[in-house]
Copies of this chain bind each other. A is one copy, B any other.
Amino acid sequence: MRIELTPAAARAALSGVRDDDLEEADLMDAFARLVWSVVVEPGDGVAGRVVEEWGAAEALRRLIAGHPLQTNGIDASDLAKGLSRWKPRGDATAVRAATESARRTGARLVLPDDPGWPGRLADLGVHAPFVLWARGDVALVADEMPTVAIVGARAATAYGEHVAAELAAELASAGVTIVSGAAYGIDGVAHRSALHVGGRTVALLAGGVDRPYPSGHAALIDATARSGAVLAETPCGTPPTKWRFLARNRLIAALADTTVIVEAGVRSGSLNTAAHAAALGRPLGAVPGAVTSASSAGCHRVIRDFDGSLITGAADVRELLGLTDAPTLSFDETRTDEMTRVLDAMSTRQSRSPDEIARRSGIEPQEVRGLIALAELSGQVLERADGWRRALSTR
């Protein structure tokens, strides 16, 4: 470990990536977090636990000095393996390269105590990132913002791209921040569609924010940074790897109030995002498609095996988000003349028995029962202990 833990070194490192003038303790904590983010791979729970126990600066000091770092809940052997993973990467050159590249890119360092830090990340516990690097406005994923992750297969079909575009446009227009991973296919469509309607969108990258990936999406990622935000926990200069994609997926799931999978084959990485959302206890949705389409097989598995909500449109997502208190579907289409007579004979304020509804509507009680069953199916009527009433909202 060749890193100097001094206020001067900290100030030099943070210059140009932070605007504020931190007090010494905060300064050293910020610098130590920055170093930790260079030293460990994303989501390293051993490092997360060590930093939680000792504090970022003290833990780093001990790591550099070779002092004991024993930590509750971490086996000695896991800790030893952690030290052997981290030490080779504790290099002032690597830290300097990361901050220099961040300055060139205009990336800012965001820390857990900052007002813009997304509180949702706390659900990741010891797997939460040490820092975030941000191009653009990190406040778009602040706690008061409704956020939806729209993710899916790179190998999307025209159908999937169409649905992703509609969902993103409609939700972004309604003020929801669209979170995604900037990949080809569904992710890219989600960002592009949100930008297109002038909405909010945030891309999470698996590598550094100075390295737009995939390169074919460099312009899209730049546009997202200008109008929204591009975020990563990995330092600038870090190339994406398979593991970093999987780790990045946990950030997407954690930053989103709800995650919606639009299209996914059974091997799609977006299923990993779905698994993280489920593990975090966040509402999870998936868009169905033809059972003959391999690109929807993963979505069907999310609905079947992960209890994911079946999403047919933005209204269903808004319901998952709790943004609506009643379905916004139109039920008028289910009306027949007899159905109209039955519904007209019912009240939204008072329950009535099928027989009373039959009397009022002049339709046989049996037929009334059949029509009530049909109307219940479409959510037009509700059963109460003392009979049936009309549902309030039949917008």
Per-residue B-contact encoding for A231-259, CB less than 8 Å = 1, 0 else: 00000000000010011000000000000
Q: What residues of B have a CB within 8 angstroms of the CB of A296 in the complex?
A: 288
Report A26 CB to chain B, min CB distance, Å. 29
Q: Which residues from 10 to 64 on chain A have a C-beta closer than 8 Å to any C-beta of chain B?
A: 41, 43-46
Say yes or no: B303 contacts A303, CB within 8 Å: yes
Can you name the residue of chain B whose Cβ is closest to the Cβ of A45? Answer: B366
Report A43 CB to chain B, min CB distance, Å. 6
Q: What residues of B have a CB within 8 angstroms of the CB of A377 in the complex?
A: 271-272, 274-275, 301, 305-306
Report A308 CB to chain B, min CB distance, Å. 9
Can you name the residue of chain B whose Cβ is closest to the Cβ of A42? Answer: B366
Say yes or no: A310 contacts B288, CB within 8 Å: yes
Say yes or no: A310 contacts B303, CB within 8 Å: yes
- In the assembly, what is the distance between CA of A288 and CA of B295, in Å? 13
Per-residue B-contact encoding for A346-366, CB less than 8 Å = 1, 0 else: 000000000100000000111
Say yes or no: B301 contacts A266, CB within 8 Å: no
Q: What residues of B have a CB within 8 angstroms of the CB of A310 in the complex?
A: 288, 300, 303-304, 310
Number of copies: 2
Say yes or no: B373 contacts A276, CB within 8 Å: yes
Q: What residues of B have a CB within 8 angstroms of the CB of A247 in the complex?
A: 366, 370
Q: What residues of B have a CB within 8 angstroms of the CB of A297 in the complex?
A: 312
Instruction: Choose one: B78, B272, B306, B373; the contact of A374 (CB below 8 Å).
Output: B272
Say yes or no: B366 contacts A41, CB within 8 Å: yes
Say yes or no: A292 contacts B159, CB within 8 Å: yes
Tell yes or no: A376 within 8 A of B by CB.
yes
Tell yes or no: A379 within 8 A of B by CB.
yes
- In the assembly, what is the distance between CA of A246 and CA of B364, in Å? 13
Can you name the residue of chain B whose Cβ is closest to the Cβ of A378? Answer: B266
Report A251 CB to chain B, min CB distance, Å. 13
Say yes or no: B266 contacts A291, CB within 8 Å: no
Q: Main SS of chain A's interface residues?
A: helix
Can you name the residue of chain B whose Cβ is closest to the Cβ of A157? Answer: B290
Q: What residues of B have a CB within 8 angstroms of the CB of A43 in the complex?
A: 366, 370
- In the assembly, what is the distance between CA of A276 and CA of B372, in Å? 12
Say yes or no: B290 contacts A159, CB within 8 Å: yes
- In the assembly, what is the distance between CA of A291 and CA of B378, in Å? 17
- In the assembly, what is the distance between CA of A275 and CA of B376, in Å? 8
Report A78 CB to chain B, min CB distance, Å. 6
Question: A163-B291, A275-B376, A290-B290 are known contacts; what are 14 more A-B pairs with Cβ within 8 Å?
Answer: A44-B366, A243-B364, A266-B378, A271-B374, A271-B378, A272-B373, A274-B377, A287-B291, A288-B288, A288-B291, A288-B303, A288-B310, A291-B312, A304-B316
Smallest CB-CB A-B distances: 6 pairs = A288-B288, A291-B312, A246-B370, A275-B373, A275-B377, A303-B310
Listed by A's residue number, 7 A-B pairs whose Cβ atoms lie within 8 Å are A45-B369, A78-B355, A276-B373, A289-B290, A303-B303, A303-B310, A304-B312
Binding site for B on A (CB under 8 A): 41, 43-46, 75, 78, 81, 85, 159, 162-163, 243, 246-247, 266-267, 271-272, 274-276, 279, 287-292, 296-297, 300-301, 303-306, 309-313, 316, 333-334, 355, 364-367, 369-370, 373-374, 376-379
